[in-house]
């Protein structure tokens, strides 16, 4: 299958925009963030208060999940080399999961076994590459993919996350990943992994300030369409956040990188009001609380493997 590249302007127009009601206090000063998904295809706008709330939650998440220790003698800063999955689940709900798993990534030069004539064994082999990932992580020998899952209501104070290792000091020129989604469609299509305005998203802290960049907002600058995958790229990346000034963006992501996270915190149920009952808003078939990523891209360096941390 051939592929094409789609270029987009930075318009906040993609489906799956999520709305976060302002954080509110409950007993003992705990904070709950309410996420509400908009219906697919609706005209969408994002108020400054919404972007501010997303920024506050994202910055809090970075504080609540301390940066992983790195030995600078073996892992020099600025040499992006690993993506470490982590679960943020302070309530121990067991409703989020983040892990690299073998066999679920975007295949680049994969070996396909063909049966013999009577299906009693292997009769031959072929090589297969999904057109979306003609290049991949050369160190990935098991076709790993990064599984990110949030089960149940988006309001659950929990998230599947991953830390990008050895990115400190980098000046960003490109961010991206491959996402398992029906290739002939686009990132806004209903089939496959969830690709919303807020998940999966990059949280980026730089010397300038804080930014976040969602799967569909700002929409990717380019898409490479494959059979069952899409390659999404933002470059030079734009984002939202406090560093963009009083409107919260979008604006260019500037400054030397201090830390980058991937966050998946959108489930498949939203509250009808501040509290239950929870309902499926019917925003689209891809709103089922899961995404599979591969070939995480920082300035053209791809990382497509990591620890199998499923608990």
pTM for the structure as a whole: 0.83
CA distance 85 to 88: 10
Express each pLDDT in 242-290 by its tens digit.
999 998 989 999 999 999 999 999 998 776 766 677 777 655 667 889 9
Which residues pair with residue 176 across a beta bridge?
233, 297
Considering only residues 51 and 298, tell me which one the structure prediction assigns the higher pLDDT: 298
pLDDT mean across residues, the chain:
82
Is residue 12 over pLDDT 50? no
Please check the confidence at residue 23 and state whether its pLDDT lies above 50.
no
Check if the beta carbon of residue 181 is closer than 8 Å to that of residue 130. no
Q: What is the pLDDT of residue 262?
A: 98
What is the rounded distance in angstroms from the CA atom of residue 50 to the CA atom of residue 33? 11
Three-state SS for 123-142 is EEEEEECCHHHCCCCCCCCC
Q: Which residue has the higher pLDDT, 73 or 171?
A: 171
| Residue ranges per structural domain of the chain | 18-303
d(CA 116, CA 223): 38
3-state SS of the chain is CCCCECCCCCCCCCCCCEEEEEEEECHHHCEEEEEEECCCCCCCCCCHHHHHHHHHHHHHHHHHCCCCCCCCCCCCCCCCCEEEEEEECCCCCCCEEEEEECCCCCCCCEEEEEECCCCCCEEEEEEECCHHHCCCCCCCCCCCEEEEEECCECCCCCEEEEEEECCCCCECCCEEEEEECCCCCCCCCCCCCCCCCCCCEEEEEECCCEEEEECCCCCCCEEEECCCEEEEEECCCEEECHHHCCCCCCEECCCEEEEEEEEECCCCEEECCCCCCEECCCCCCCCCCEEEEEEEEECCEEECCCCCCCC
């Amino acid at each position: 299958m051939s592929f094409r590249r789609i270029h987009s302007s930075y318009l906040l127009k993609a489906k799956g925009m999520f709305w976060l009601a302002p954080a509110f206090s409950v007993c003992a000063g705990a904070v709950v963030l309410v996420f509400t998904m908009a219906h697919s295809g609706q005209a969408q706008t994002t108020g400054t208060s919404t972007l501010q709330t997303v920024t506050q939650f994202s910055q809090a998440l970075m504080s609540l999940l301390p940066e992983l220790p790195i030995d600078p003698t073996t892992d020099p800063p600025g040499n992006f080399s690993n993506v470490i999955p982590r679960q943020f689940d302070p309530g121990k709900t067991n409703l989020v999961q983040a892990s690299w798993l073998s066999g679920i990534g975007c295949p680049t030069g994969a070996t396909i076994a063909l049966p013999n004539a009577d299906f009693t064994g292997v009769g031959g082999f072929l090589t297969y590459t999904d057109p979306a990932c003609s290049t991949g992580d050369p160190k990935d020998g098991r076709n790993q993919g990064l599984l990110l899952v949030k089960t149940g209501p988006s309001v659950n104070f929990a998230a599947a996350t991953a830390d990008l290792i050895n990115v400190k000091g980098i000046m960003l020129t490109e961010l991206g990943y491959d996402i398992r989604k029906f290739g002939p469609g686009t990132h806004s299509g209903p089939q496959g992994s969830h690709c919303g305005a807020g998940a999966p998203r990059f949280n980026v802290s730089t010397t300038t300030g804080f930014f976040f960049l969602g799967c569909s907002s700002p929409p990717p600058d380019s898409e490479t369409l494959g059979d069952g995958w899409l390659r999404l790229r933002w470059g030079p990346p734009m984002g939202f956040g406090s560093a963009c000034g009083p409107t919260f963006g979008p604006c260019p992501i500037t400054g030397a990188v201090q830390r980058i996270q991937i966050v998946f915190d959108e489930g498949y149920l939203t509250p009808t009001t501040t509290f239950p009952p929870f309902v499926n808003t019917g925003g689209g078939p891809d709103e089922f609380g899961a995404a599979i990523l591969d070939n995480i891209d920082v300035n053209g360096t791809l990382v497509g493997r990591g620890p199998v941390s499923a608990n």
